[in-house]
Amino acid sequence: MSALQDAALWHEPPTPEQTRRHQLHAGLRLLARNRLALIGGGISLVFVLIGIAGIVIIGFDRFHDLYLDQTLDSAVILRAPFTGENVLGTDALGRDLLARTVAGIGVSIMLALAITALTLILGMVLGTVAAFYGGWIDVVISAVIDVTWGFPIILLAVALSGVFDRGIEVVILSVPLILWAGFARIVRGEGLSLRERDFVKAARAMGVPDWKIILRHFVPNLIAPTIVMGTYYIPVVIVFEGALSFLGLGTQPPTPSLGLMAAEGRQHLLNGDHWVVTVPGVSLVLMVVGFNTLGDGLRDILDPRLRGVR
Amino acid sequence: MPEAPPLLEVHNLSKRFPIRRDILGRPTSWLSAVDEVSFTIRHGETFSIVGETGCGKSTLGQLIIRLQPADTGSVLFDGEAVFSSSRHHLGQLRQRMQLVFQDPFSSLNPRMKVGAIVSEGTHRLRLGRAERRRRTQEVLEMVGLAHSYAARYPHELSGGQRQRVAIARALAANPEFLILDEPVSALDVSIQSQVLNLLHDLQQELTLTYLFISHDLAVVRHISDRVGVMYLGKLVETADRDELFGNPLHPYTQALLSAIPRPQARGQHRDRISLEGEALSPIDPPRQCRFASRCFRAIDRCWTEVPPTELQKPEHDAACFNIAPPTDSNGGSVMRE
């Protein structure tokens, strides 16, 4: 075998250290060139930091006065931004809008992450199972996907709120119960092509158990669409949470939520006290634009084939 | 290599794929990929299947290890029926039979390191972690890759190196029988010979039996002990390598061999058989010889009956109604020794 051992010395591959540095550089260069992702990432990062502050405010009782302290004193209520000690003004109950907005962003981001994670897990499991097993299992799951995808989230939320008490759990349930279908469809499509790849056939020929094939060969090759869809779902979920809360189905007072704040303030909109609505509204729009831009940028970097796809 | 006992016996293996269905989902049209194929591979030999693209060679390989279910027929591996064995038993059989795919860019998971890919092959052996590692190093060395390759991802390797990894993965299970599905056709010519020599050395060292699937006659001539020629799902001729290349009986084999470019002196003349007519579609083929539409020796019978595979000479099967020494398309005899 000496000829073979010589063959091993054709050339030594680069060390893992070199390779990793090379990949890191390539990744950073791609990110730098993609200004969209960079801007979106920056905005998202700012909102995530604000969100963490918001969660801290909600989490500790001693901070509750910041956003719950209310009054009927006409000197304090509906104070415009930058006019008094409240930087972003106060609402009709004299509560500090800055603190309420920060807390609302916290609620939004926490819910968005939890709901997105749930959506991705549901979609990943059902999508890979449908693609891997095919046959009647695929037919059933695909039928469920088609039916689910056409169902309006708001309608399901209304229906669920009739069954359960209104509140956050309705939002948590209704959004992923519909949204998973879109992700499952993408996972199923990718999975169908993975199933025909030779390395999956090789694993089956070697008798590797199904669950190991799914974990080892399917899931790691689905990471790119998962990240892309994850960043796409976060703003979608934020918007739905806002909409449901605006309708009174989501977050319940006194917990602040951007949608709820907009709903509470809308009667003051025409009186000229527009900031009660515009402060949470503009925050919501900025946050959604930030995450969306980041999602688009990541999509371009990670999966050029999905470019322009919605 | 006369009379080693058979390791693999394939009897009347057939596979059809439905390609059109009616409203109720019942197939109305079938593509016949493998049709009534029978052959035997003896211990320690290399049996090659040659045929053009789309003739069902790869499907045949996948049917044998039950990667796809066959419609009819049977496969005996070392006397044990592959198709009727239980799930557990099939696992054991699959450890003894391994498949190497054509395209090493598709047969290796891009997200796994070489070490993990190769050690997946040991999965049936139920080894501990340390033994698994040792086995991985051992087979990597066998295929001529340094230990350090275990930490690489497939995209860092060249085509030849990848194919070595694929071979190492197959060897890791410690098999007796390898199905090599066009293992070199995706590689550069210079790399092909290295991989072929590697396969040859491994066969000697580990006493492996090969089913070698290829469309490359030169490669087949180099590596085989016996050769089967496939045409549109049918095995039309089977013989020892020297017999088949020296004295082909089936008109398709004759045409195929005459297409090999050969060096010749100036002024020397060589007749080539050039096939005319259109190949039969494998979709719902009529009951006739599948080669008849392109055959230069077809007789009336070829259009109405399927020629059975018959022993024409000792160790030499062919499926043809009009066996004759090679002739050109005009009926003249081709020059040979």
Per-residue pLDDT tens over the stretch A117-129: 999 999 999 999 9
Please tell me the class of the A34-306 domain.
mainly alpha
Which residue of chain B is at minimal alpha-carbon distance from A4? B144
Rounded to whole angstroms, how far apart are CA atoms B146 and B319?
48
- pLDDT over threshold 50, residue B145: yes
> So what's the pLDDT on residue A122?
92
Burial of A12 (0-12, 13-18, 19+ CB in 10 A): exposed
Among the listed residues B337, B334, B326, B330, the one whose alpha carbon sits nearest the alpha carbon of residue B250 = B326
The verdict on A204 touching B (C-beta cutoff 8 Å) is yes
What is the pLDDT, as a whole number, of residue B256?
A: 86
Q: Per-residue pLDDT averaged across A48-69, rounded? A: 76
pTM exceeding the 0.90 threshold for the entire prediction: no
ipTM: 0.82
- Across all residues in chain B, what is the average pLDDT? 85
B-chain residue closest to A223, CA distance: B111
What separation in angstroms does the CA of B316 have from each of A197, B73, B228?
37, 22, 10
Q: Give me chain A's average pLDDT, please.
A: 78
B157 contacts A217? CB cut-off 8 A = no
Chain B hits for A16, Cβ within 8 Å: 151-152
The DSSP result for chain A, as a single string, is: -HHHHHHHTS-PPPPHHHHHHHHHHHHHHHHHH-HHHHHHHHHHHHHHHHHHHHHHHHHSGGGHHHHH-----TTTTTPPTTSSS-TT-B-TT--BHHHHHHHHHHHHHHHHHHHHHHHHHHHHHHHHHHHHH-HHHHHHHHHHHHHHHTS-HHHHHHHHHHHSPSSHHHHHHHHHHHHHHHHHHHHHHHHHHHHTSHHHHHHHHTT--HHHHIIIIIGGGGHHHHHHHHHHHHHHHHHHHHHHHHTTSSSPTTS--HHHHHHHHGGGGGGT-THHHHHHHHHHHHHHHHHHHHHHHHHHHH-GGGTT--
The B residues from 33 to 72 touching A (CB cutoff 8 Å) are 62, 65, 67
Task: Indicate if the pLDDT at residue A63 is higher than 90.
Answer: no
What was the pLDDT predicted at A1? Answer: 43
pLDDT-derived band of residue A7, with 50, 70 and 90 as boundaries?
Answer: very low
pLDDT at A10 over 60: no
Interface touch A13/B106, C-beta < 8 Å: no
A53 — phi, psi (to 5°)?
Answer: -60, -45
pLDDT confidence tier of residue A58, bands split at 50, 70 and 90: confident
CB contacts, 8 Å: A19 with chain B: 152, 156
What pLDDT sits at residue B124? 76
The predicted-structure confidence for A212-240, as pLDDT tens digits, reads as follows: 899 888 888 888 888 888 888 888 888 88
The answer to whether residues A84 and A132 touch, using CB atoms and an 8 Å cutoff, is no
Residue A273 reports pLDDT greater than 80: no
Task: Look at residues B6, B16, B11, B9 and name the one whose alpha carbon lies nearest to residue B73.
Answer: B11
Q: Where are the domains of chain A?
A: 34-306
Average pLDDT on B220-246 reads 90
Q: Does domain B6-224 have CATH number 3.90.110.10?
A: no
Q: Which pLDDT band holds residue A253 (cuts at 50, 70, 90)? A: confident
Q: Nearest-CA residue of chain A relative to B64?
A: A205
Give residue A242's pLDDT.
82
Q: Is B143 on the interface with A (CB under 8 A)?
A: yes
Average pLDDT for A293-306: 72
Q: In 10 A of CB B126, how many CB atoms?
A: 8
Task: Report the alpha-carbon distance of residue B81 to residue B95 in Å, rounded.
Answer: 15
Find the mean pLDDT for residues B167-175.
Answer: 90
Q: Which pLDDT value is given to residue A12?
A: 53
C-alpha dihedral (B44, B49, B50, B53), degrees to nearest 10: -140
* pLDDT-based confidence at residue B329 (cuts at 50, 70, 90): very low
CA atoms of B198 and B159, how far apart (whole Å): 15
Question: Per residue in B193-230, pLDDT tens?
Answer: 888 999 999 999 998 999 999 988 888 998 999 999 99
pLDDT at B320 over 80: yes
Most confident of A217-226, A262-271, B173-182: B173-182
Give the model's confidence band at A310: pLDDT under 50 very low, under 70 low, under 90 confident, else very high: very low
List B residues 294-313 in contact with A (Cβ-Cβ < 8 A): none
User: How high is the pLDDT of residue A82?
Assistant: 67
Q: Check CB contact of B177 with chain A, cutoff 8 Å.
A: no
